[in-house]
Structure formats: structure tokens, C-alpha cells
Structure 1
Amino acid sequence: MSRRVASQVHQQVSRLMRGGIIANEPVWFKAVLAHPPLPLPAKAPPSRTAYDTKPAKDVVSASGSKKNMRPYDPKPLPIYYLEDDIRRQFFRDHPFETFRPITLSEKAGIQEQHHIQGKEWTRLRQRGRNPSPDDAVQFALNLHLYHEVPLSYAYSRAVAQFRALRSEHHIASTMALLEADTMGALFEPSETTLGFEKELKSLATWERQAELDEGAMAARKRWRAIAQPHSETREWSRGQQYVRLWKEGVTPKYAPALTEPEATPRPHIMPDYKTTPVRR
């Protein structure tokens, strides 16, 4: 029996049984007929006539009629979202929003969708008094899709409300800080302040290290050899005094290493490695 696809084995066996090649019916035949395997998916590519931008080709069939056939393009279709254009324009108008810190927690669940959606969402303040850039982008898209507002007007309206809420939040935060400072509240230093303090401590250690190095140099200079000046006045005899003492056999005393007797050297004894334990 020729090799077949697994989903077509029972069909091939049925043909062989009708032809008399297989005399006895297999045990699994009726079970497979009662529960046939799933058919394979179609090999033909899906129709892309609504998205294909390439020109169609006229193919003449066997009957002589022309069929409009489009070439098969295996490349994926472009993924396009309207909010990407709105977000790109928003960050082009507000570049400093990209520097605003965002907390990213690992292994956190996906945030649930806000309950105010669609036609119920008419003002950006419904999402809070401190909206994020993504809230402004979604609000502009919501105005365009559900309230039939032109995209340019929806964007300008969303940006105006975003700036107003951010200004209100900034003024309220500043006044609250001044009020707390006036009432004597004490705030812990921020991460930026702690970073500057660590940097100053590190720089102080460098200055201390420089002082220690200077002290070590001064200590080394303090113990240098200093020749004491002679109190008595002497005149240079041009070596005549040395020659006279040499002729008289007088040994000079300014070189103790030459006048003192040589010490008897201690005998060097080799250790017995057989009896002496070796420390490791």
C-alpha cells in the first residue's frame, strides 16, 4: 500500500477492499468510519483581493474565458492602528513627557479596562485629575470614533484638557508642599538628594586620601639623614696627614668595620629532613 496521509488511510483501505486486494476487514475500520479524523486545512492561500495593491493578471482558462487572478504575496499585511499616529503627534508636541518616571512592576497582572468607555466618556477628567499621556491619546480616539468628532479637533480638544489638568495638578502640589513646609512638616530626602550626598562623601574620601599621602611623604622626609656640621675649624691638608699616619702605622678610627676584629661566623648546619617534621 502506498504511503498516505493519516487522515486518508481509511479511504485508501476502503478502495483496496472494494478491489479485492484486502480480503478481511481491519479491526479498526468501523471505528474510524464512526469517528473519522479531522480533514487537513486547505492549501490554497486566502483571498486578499480587498487588500492587495498589485495589478491583477488575466489568465485564460481551458474553456477560453478569462479569469482575474491576483499574484500570491506571502508577506504579512501591515498592522496599522490610528492611536499610533495620535501618540506620535502627542509626543512630538510634548517631548518632555517621555522623561516622566513610570513604575514598572515585574510579574504584575494586566490592568483592567476602565468602566467609562464609549459615549459615556465626554471629558478627560473622568479618568482622574492627573491623566497620563496614554489617557489623552485614548480620549482623542474615543472622541473621533464614538462622538463623530474630526480627528484634528478631537486631538486639540484632548490636548487642551490634558494641559489644563496637568497645570491644575502642578499648582495644587506646589501649594500643598508650601503649606506643609510652613506648618513644620519634615520630608525624607528624595533619591536624587541621597545620590548627591553619596557623591559628596566619596569626594571627601578623596580629599582625605590626599592629606594622608602628604602626611606619609612628610614622615618619610622627617627621617632622612642630616649631617651635623663640625664645630672645630679644620684645614684640608691635601692628604698629607693621611699619608703621615699610614707611614707611622696608625690605624684610622673613622672606619669601625676595618678596625674591629671580624666576628667568627656561625657554622651552617643542614637540617635532617628525615627526622625534622615539615610544616605545611
Structure 2
Amino acid sequence: MVRRIASQVHQQVSRLMRGNYIKKEPAWYQAVLDNPPLALPPKAPPPRTPYDQKPATSSKLRPHSVRPLSIYYIEDDIRRQFFRDHPFEAFRPTTLVESDRIEDPHPIAGETWTRLRQRGRNPTPEDAVQFCLNLYQYHGMSLSDAYGRAVAQFRALRSEHHIMTSFAAQEAEELGSTFGESEVESIFEASKRSIATWERKEEMDEGIAAARKRWKAIVGRSHGPNQWTKGVEYVRLWQEGNKPNYMPALTDPVQEVQAPPVVQPPPPPTTNKKGPGAKPAGSMESDPLNLGRRI
């Protein structure tokens, strides 16, 4: 039998007895089953010199990375949550023009800024974000409480401004002021003009189709029992000897075109000055080149 440790001897004997290799049960077998030997402790690793040991790494040191660290500002989280709760504030017109210098910080800031109204009665979303951050940093409030207070004051000022402008517009109308069309009215008028074009859509479509078929045969949309004769009319004309003329400009005889008579212009009138200093027509002075000389 192969050499075994003490805790494996009775197991090996059990396998041999099941295979009928051992016919008689050993005298110690039942006693070992009742009191099995203890397992040996695990073998300790051999000692190593400091040169062979792995250098210990401290968990406090951060591994070096060439990637830049992320830039994080708490205002970004506040601003993101604000526009998630007030999406229509992003549609308000604002200016993106930058000046030649950085704007000076507002004089009301820090511990002196306790209410949003201190910076105006019509605050912007950025004012609400900065007010929330100011409450969180200088007044010892949690970020949730600071955001709730800033949003509540922002909504109250927005409602106050809306009511004030509405009553101001009504008062101006009562005093005779006239206002132009609002954005909603302009959209309604544009919709009416667009709907009015639907009545001419069919005519426009027919004109466009005719323009596209300028190099094709345009067949009129006429229906009736006498429109299609299945070739009977064509055969009748052929039997009568009437040949179809598809290009009359090439088959018709050429007609002579008489040229218009040429009208000769009248000769220019000759002027004969007769006076005390006039010379006769045959004199040499009147013909300096002697062209009128008789040969």
C-alpha cells in the first residue's frame, strides 16, 4: 500500500475493502473510525531573506497617473439642478457679449447677502445659483436647505415681476397706448397665411407638373365615351387616304418669300452760292485740283 498520512489510512482501507482486496477487516479499523486522527496543520512557508521578500507597498500612496484631474465646481451641480427644475428659464433672452475687462464683483456678497432681493427685483438664474452657494458657504446651511430657500425667493420675485408688468400693460392700454403683435399673435397670423395657401395647392401642383412635362406630351384629363376609339378612327382615315401629318413644318411645300423693294436714298441737294464774290463753276479756284478740266 502506498504510504499515507495518519488521517488518510482508514480511508484507503475502506476503498480496498470495497474492492475486495482486503477480505478481513483489520482490528484497528473500527477504533480509528470512532476516533479519527487529527489533521496535520498546514505547512508554514520557509523563511526568506529581506532581499527575496517583496517590497511592501503603502495603501496611502496614490499611483501616479498622467491624466489630468477632473475640474469640479459646486456651482455646476446647483446650476444643473436649477435648470432641471426650471427648464423655461433657459429660453429667456440674454447677452453673450464680453467686455474688454472682467466685471467687478457685486458689493453685496458674503455674510451681508441674506436675501435674494438685495441684488434686484428681477433676478436672473445665475443670481439664484450664486445666492444658493453664498448661503451654503457663509451661513452654515446645508446645500439642500440653501437651494430650497434660494429657489423659493426666486419664484416669489418672478411672480411679483410678472404681476407688476401685467398691471402696467393694462394701465397703459387704458390710457391709450397701443402695442404691437405679440409672439403668439404673430404665430397665429403665420398659420392663417399658411392655411390659405392650401386652397391654391391643387392649381400650383398642376402648374408644376406641366412645367416638368415641357419636353413630354401633356394629355388633358378629359373622360367620356368618345375619347378612346380603339384605333377605329385612325383606320378610317388611313383607308380614306388621309395621311397623318406630325411635322407640317417639314412636309408643307416651301413658299417663296419676296424680298422687299430696295428704296434708294435721294441725292443730297447741291447748293450754288451766287453773290458779288462768287466764282464761275468752271474757274480754277472753285476746282483747286483741276478735276473738272476737259481733256
TM-score, structure 1 as length reference: 0.47
Higher helix share: 1
